[in-house]
Amino acid sequence: MKGFDLPLVRVLENGFSRGSVLVVRFTPAADCQRFSVNLQTGRPSLDADVALHLNPRLDSRCVVLNSKRSSEWMSEERHPLLLVGEDGDVAAPVFVAGRDGEVAIRAEENHYQVVVDGRLFCHFAHRVKPENVTHVRLSGEMRVHSMVYHSKSVIIPPPSMYWRCLGGGHFLQVETSAAGVTWALGYDSRPWAHTGGWGGAHFGGASSKFGINPVEDSKYFYIYENQRWNPLTGFTTHGLPTDRPNWSDRTGKVAMAKETVKLPSVHWQWVRKGDGIQHLLKRVRKTSYSVLDDRLADRLHDARRHGRARVAVRNGFSSNLPR
């Protein structure tokens, strides 16, 4: 990305786990007093937790590093606006008003490595898990020339590339007919038609001025609980090594947990997380789950943990279809 004014917020699709790198090239304003680079978690907002707050303060002649958890700032770490050589000699001033600069932030196993103008500036120990980082926010009195995000894995998985070109996507399926009509089907089975608009969602101002509508979708995830019947104590989660896992998919063959469920994108949020429902299990015949056949699957329909995820964006689709 090049040539953006501040404030600037961009999603980091793969988070910021070990090996991730963010490189920002910038020029502080001639009368610059402060600016900041924030690696934040959760949904983009001013109240989001901050894993790394890098805040050059030219008016105080220092650089402040900090983290914020549960809306509370933690203890600050301060460094002078100077690059110090390995022998302790002062190498050069950094973050100089009116002069081009570059800062590179790299996530290591236990800390962030901050490199300024090609030389190591400091380390900052992890206080918030870097895997929880979802976006970066730049603000203050500077001009951003470019920002490059590096990840150890593919930043945009191939199946997502086409949807992103449509302006956020988030649909289960998108097709175009021979007549040129593009339609989409949401995860909640609601049909949508393309209006001709483009952009929306995370593209912000880079969108058309027409045909951008609010889009909502929801998707349910189900995880099934498996227990063994004990003639003396009843149903129990303590099974044999050959039994199905305690929580699995519908087939009982694939172990699952809520933590393993991956939402379609970072724009999705959980809106309901259910707990296991065990009372219906008593209606099933007294036998081991490991020998239950598919005919009993429907009777276990409510014996599951379920959750619903929701996305709400704006893009060039409408659900007001002609009849």
d(CA 37, CA 112): 13
Q: Which fold has domain 2-150?
A: Jelly Rolls (2.60.120)
- Computed on alpha carbons and rounded to an integer, the radius of gyration of the chain in Å comes to 26
Q: How far is CA 127 from the centre of its chain?
A: 18
Edge-first strand order for the sheet with 269-273 is 247-248, 213-225, 304-315, 269-273
**Which residue, 171, 181, 168, 197, is CA-closest to 322?**
181
> Does the N-terminal peptide bond of residue 191 adopt cis geometry, omega within 30 degrees of 0?
no
Give pTM, 2 decimals. Answer: 0.50
Task: Please give the pLDDT value at position 106.
Answer: 97
Note down pLDDT in tens along the chain; length 323 residues.
455 678 899 988 888 999 999 999 999 999 999 999 999 998 888 888 999 999 999 999 999 999 999 889 999 999 999 887 666 666 789 999 999 999 999 999 999 999 999 999 999 999 999 999 999 999 999 999 999 999 887 666 545 554 444 434 567 888 888 777 888 888 888 888 887 776 666 555 556 666 777 777 888 777 888 888 878 888 877 778 888 888 888 888 888 876 777 777 666 777 765 543 333 333 333 333 333 333 333 333 334 455 566 666 666 666 665 55
d(CA 141, CA 57): 11
d(CA 163, CA 201): 12
Stretch (H or E) spanning 122: strand 119-125
Residue with tokens 């590093």: 65
What residue ranges do the domains of the chain occupy? 2-150, 156-323
Task: Please give the pLDDT value at position 293.
Answer: 33
Tell me the backbone φ, ψ of residue 178, rounded to 5 degrees. -65, -25
Query: 107 - beta bridge partners?
Result: 112
**Which residue, 44, 263, 201, is CA-closest to 133?**
44
Task: Please give the pLDDT value at position 209.
Answer: 65
Burial class (CB in 10 A: 0-12, 13-18, 19+), 253: exposed
**Which residue, 247, 266, 263, is CA-closest to 255?**
247
d(CA 54, CA 64): 6
d(CA 84, CA 254): 54
In three-state secondary structure terms, 178 is: coil
In the DSSP assignment, the letter for residue 163 is H
Q: Which amino acid is at 34?
A: R
d(CA 146, CA 41): 22
Half-sphere exposure of 318 (CA within 13 A, CB side): 11
